[in-house]
């Protein structure tokens, strides 16, 4: 197992994301097919990941913020884009909640495990991403001075939760920067809670001029400040 991880780390320290084998391995490791990103690892199709990757390659940000991820698919894509740019750093924030925790929202408690804390290193992404296992309010209180060029929100999916994330992190977005929201099209009430991102998005896209990507389910909303 250790030798396999070492070989994998060496492979990803050299290969670009455009390599189909690299894409397939990354998607399988971070379980992209299970997270509502319209991704298909069998076809090396990043789904919504293409939007994140392409935008990061274009705007070449120095600081990126990712709020929430079950197994790390989107933060891995963001970090890989920064790596391929040759610069940039992703701050990834997740409270580390699991299904039994209030406000877990399909979390698996993965980021509190040794594997979770080391997973990005396996793909040679360690220099381009930092994991912060803490609440969004704790991160904001400690790092409020940081300004970001791109922010991705995929944390608490309740209406109250996404409004809080917006209030916390919109001031940390540079003028001209982009903020995106996952699951803007999910309207069902599910076991994990009542989804409210769609209600927030319907209002904010009108007031701030958002762009909506709606491919069958989940959805992605993008706003430039």
* pLDDT attached to residue 8: 45
Tell me which CATH code domain 2-224 carries.
Answer: 3.40.50.150
Which ranges in the chain belong to alpha helices (H)?
2-12, 20-29, 49-59, 73-85, 114-118, 136-143, 159-169, 197-208
A 10 A CB-CB count for 62 gives 14
**Would you kindly state where each structural domain of the chain is located, as residue ranges?**
2-224
Region of residue 148 (left: phi > 0; alpha: psi -120 to 50; beta: else): beta
* pLDDT attached to residue 64: 98
pLDDT in single tens digits along all 225 residues of the chain: 344 444 444 444 444 444 555 666 777 777 766 657 776 777 777 778 888 999 999 999 999 999 999 889 999 999 999 999 999 999 999 998 866 667 666 767 889 999 889 989 988 899 999 999 999 999 999 999 999 999 999 999 999 999 999 999 999 999 999 999 999 988 877 777 789 999 999 999 999 999 998 866 789 999 999
Region of residue 103 (left: phi > 0; alpha: psi -120 to 50; beta: else): left
Tokens of 180: 């995106």
* pLDDT attached to residue 71: 87
Residue 65 bridge partners (DSSP): 91, 151
Q: How far apart are CA 60 and CA 87, in angstroms?
A: 8
């Amino acid at each position: 197992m250790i030798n396999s991880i070492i070989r994998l780390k060496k492979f990803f320290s050299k290969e670009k994301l455009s390599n189909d084998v690299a894409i397939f391995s990354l998607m399988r490791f971070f379980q992209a097919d299970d997270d509502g990103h319209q991704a298909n690892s069998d076809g090396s199709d990043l789904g919504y990941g293409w939007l994140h990757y392409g935008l990061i390659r274009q705007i070449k940000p120095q600081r990126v913020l990712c709020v929430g991820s079950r197994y790390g698919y989107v933060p891995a894509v963001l970090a890989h884009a920064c790596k391929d740019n040759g610069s940039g750093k992703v701050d990834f924030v997740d409270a580390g909640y699991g299904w039994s925790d209030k406000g877990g929202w399909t979390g698996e408690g993965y980021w509190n495990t040794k594997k979770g804390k080391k997973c990005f290193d396996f793909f040679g992404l360690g220099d381009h991403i930092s994991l912060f296992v803490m609440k969004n309010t704790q991160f904001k209180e400690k790092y409020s001075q940081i300004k970001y060029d791109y922010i991705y929100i995929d944390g608490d999916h309740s209406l109250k939760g996404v409004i809080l994330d917006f209030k916390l992190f919109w001031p940390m977005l540079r003028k001209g920067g982009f903020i995106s929201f996952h699951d803007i099209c999910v309207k069902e009430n599910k076991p994990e809670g009542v989804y409210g991102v769609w209600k927030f998005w319907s209002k904010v896209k009108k007031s701030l001029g958002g762009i909506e990507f709606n491919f069958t389910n989940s959805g992605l909303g993008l706003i430039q400040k």
